Amino acid sequence: GCKSSPKLQVFQDYDNSLANSDEITRDLGPKEKESYLKVAKEHDVPKDLKKVVEDKVVEVIPDLQHMNLSIVKMAFLKDNSCGEDIVSKSFSSHSDLITGIYEGGLKVWECTFDLLAYLWDEKIQFAGKRVLDLGCGAGLLGIIALKGKAKEIHFQDYNSTVIDEVTIPNVIVNSTFECEDDEVNEPDLKRRKILNPTQELCIKCRFFSGEWYEFSKLVLSSKKAFAKYDIILTSETIYNPSYYSSFHQTLASLLDENGQVFLASKAHYFGVGGGIHLFQKYVEERNVFETSILRIIDEGLKRVLIKMAFKQTH
């Protein structure tokens, strides 16, 4: 059968700080405004999956042993203080992390863990569902949906380098773990045995980079069949109020009429100005979605999980 990836070193770059939002978004200068509507593109899953992860150090996330989630160690993440510092040592000069804006997808932000815990505790079902991990970064939320046998999972990050260097490798290392369930007596066992991880990944997952509105246009117009998402998972994506319009529009155009958005956020992002109250107010004014608070995590800086669904018109 398949062997699991080696468990070597601890991935130490979780965001445990309280509100380090200034590092992800500074005031946009004229040059940066240009790339604000960054064109979206779809990333092919590389043919040779083994090669993508062969030199990567992989670790099971220690706090989430029960979920059996792995992550590739980002060796280049030594200095978290500024995007440019991180990437200049590690990526080619073509990297969009160097030539454009970096939106924080290189590390796992703490609200991801809040949402993972909630999805696990509440046994949220993904089987047969179409799922989007919006602003995915490492992609752990989408990976949990993949493990939960979602029918289709799409991953989106602003930065193409994050998709290629972080998201895709993480999905690969986690989908090889899928094979460990082989002994379990499940009805779809046969099918899963035949499917090797490569095929499962190619069939179920799609990867996109680019700005939200551009992404929604791309996915809606793509030649491949597209049905709206049953579940959209999104963590630490509402820090900047100037993105709310595009973010809200994207949710409204891509969510199935009976779909649900699970959103995790810090209560407030100092320095950038976004946060849960401002976002909920924005949503209320648009009158498209209703929101409800699922969980409040009141350790250190307050964090909140909310659910969004389309308002029922009748």
CA distance 237 to 63: 23
Helices (H) and strands (E) in the chain, counts: 13, 10
Residues 6+ apart with CB under 8 A from 101: 28, 32, 35, 36, 38, 158
Angle between helices 168-177 and 197-204 (to 10 degrees): 130
Question: Which residue in the set 212, 229, 262, 269 belongs to the binding site for ligand SAM (CB under 6 A)?
Answer: 212
Q: Please count the residues of this chain forming the interface with ligand SAM, following the rule CB under 6 A.
A: 22
Q: Rounded distance, CA 67 to CA 44, Å?
A: 27
Residue 159 sits in the site that holds ligand SAM (CB under 6 A): yes
112 part of the interface to ligand SAM, by CB under 6 A: yes
The residue number with the shortest CB distance to ligand SAM is 135
Residue with tokens 């046998």: 149
**Residue number with CB closer to ligand SAM (197 or 212):** 212
| Residue 111 binds ligand SAM, judged by CB under 6 A | yes
Q: Which is nearer to ligand SAM, 131 or 195 (CB)?
A: 131
| Residue 157 touches ligand SAM, criterion: CB under 6 A | yes
Query: Closest approach of Cβ 193 to ligand SAM, in Å?
Result: 32
| 46 vs 241, beta carbon nearer ligand SAM | 241
- For tokens 């490798």, the residue is 169
How far is Cα of residue 118 from the mean position of the Cα atoms in its chain? Answer: 16
Nearer to ligand SAM, 177 or 243 (CB): 243
Nearer to ligand SAM, 170 or 237 (CB): 237
CB atoms within 10 A of CB 80: 15
Binding site for ligand SAM (CB under 6 A): 24, 103-105, 108-109, 111-112, 135-138, 157-159, 211-212, 235-237, 243, 246
